[in-house]
Amino acid sequence: MPELRETTASGLIALHGFRLANEQGTDWTLLGIECDASKQEAKKAGAPERARQGLSGVYPQILEEDEELGSLTLRGLESTHRALILDLGPAWLMVQYLTHTSVQWYRRSAWDNTIRNVSKEVRGFHVGMALVFRDWVLAFPTIDLLFQPTWVRKRSDLSIPPCVRDSFQEFVATVAAWVKETGMLASNVWYGVGVYTVCELMFIAGISPFITLRSENNKLWELIRPCIRETVLAPTKEQRLRYAQAPWLHVWARERAYMTTRMAELVKDFNATVAAYADEGIIFRDQLTDMHDPFEPTFIAAALQSQNNLGALIFGSDEWTCMGGPSPVRSDALTELYSAAGLLESPTHLRPDYYNDGVILNSDELCRAWCKTLSFTGDKNVWTVVTEFPSNMRISSLPKRDLCRATQVWDRATLLFKYIVLHTLGVSIGPLEYCGNGYIIRDGGNVVHVALCRGDPNIPLRLEERRVLSDNRITAKLDAPGQLKRARRRRIPPL
């Protein structure tokens, strides 16, 4: 499924469009549900012509025989960290984005004249589902038709796991239950945390990503709001590149990771210690006392200073108190679990007395130093600032005692966020990298056109031809870094 920032961004876009439409006045009676047929459905014997060529209508099975589609009226939207929930009066619809599905609002005229009249092959994305109203269409563009709609009669029939952002205590309780009942062997708990979020969290937590088992709304709105043209998300390349900077990304697909001077020193020492142990016999990581996690508390200042902080679990309760850390207003399930197990004062992998001069530094200290990022590949790509563990290192508390193994990627230029945005037609990661985004075409001066998709018939033909030529140059890698710029050879037809 998409990661937390991406689902949050989709929700913000959906709510923005709904608000704008309500301000202008509209009728929210549901007139139709349309979708692109899959290849198998389009080839199926007896498939209607519309299914073979483009969007076709579908009908919700939840309605009884005597209920018309028009009995459903959009009354409100609710955004969660996993899905968008629509109140349609007699029924509720939950749409889970799953892998590569997002949200777009289109004016009905733009929908009829553009999206419906451009084939999925030309526009470059499928419409997984679109709810058609009198003046507006709420669409769910998707790369691979992987999304999950769920129809129910009552809101209470929809179950959404707690989110750390909105329900801290409930989320921590699920973590505590996971630790207690599964011994950290489950893999279906961390909703909204995928491979790039894992790498970012491990960097912020100062933990090596190889020790794992395979592994802010207002600010987000400030990022995506300038990219919305009325209701359509259509970021420029320059706007997309902003996500590749802190505070959004620290290590993923970046050449450098910026940090405090004291964290850079910890990274240097950690990597040197790992290298020193590579020539030893079997070593257990959790039993070493001279390998300290490269942790910088300033990255999580807001969490450590909140009323619901876990500072005692990070530093040990005595150490946290000595450093002047605030006590939580109420106890949480995870702290209670560790307390019952007598683990609150167990040794940490933090360097002793390293943070006594100030747990939280000024925010401008976060870019005083930098380390070159390292990229690895295994089951997934991994970006980090610490090197992989040697083959002789284990963890004694794990059943198989194995650490994650990965191979370092040396030729990684094409994996960088900047390269993908500037030199390919693909997308990287984050809330501005959806399929189905519109894009901006400039026509000299201040004239700007918003294309809803490739092949948008409302774009002047000369500009569309220019766009096609530009895409062809990118596909042919004529302007790739390290290449001499050259004209595309014109094919001469045979005599």
**pTM of structure:** 0.87
**Cβ-based neighbour number of residue 454 at 10 Å:** 18
Residues 6+ apart with CB under 8 A from 174: 161, 162, 189
Sign of dihedral through CA atoms 127, 128, 132, 136? Answer: negative
pLDDT for position 491: 47
DSSP three-state, residue 132: strand
pLDDT at 488: 55
Per-10-residue mean pLDDT of the chain, 495 residues long, equals: 83 96 97 88 65 78 90 96 94 90 96 93 92 98 90 92 83 84 55 76 87 64 95 96 94 96 98 93 88 96 90 89 85 89 85 91 95 89 92 74 75 93 92 92 87 94 92 87 61 41
- Say which residues have a Cβ less than 8 Å from residue 242's Cβ, sequence separation at least 6: 223, 248
In angstroms, rounded to a whole number, what is the distance separating the alpha carbons of residues 241 and 95? Answer: 29
Q: Which residue has the tokens 């199926």?
A: 44
Fold of the 4-157 domain: N-terminal domain of MutM-like DNA repair proteins (3.20.190)
The pLDDT assigned to 235 comes to 96
Which residues in 291-395 belong to E strands, given as ranges? 369-372, 374-377, 381-384, 393-394
SS3 state of residue 485: coil
pLDDT of amino acid 494: 41
**Residue 337 · residue 176 · CB < 8 Å:** yes
Delimit the domains of the chain by residue range: 4-157, 173-413
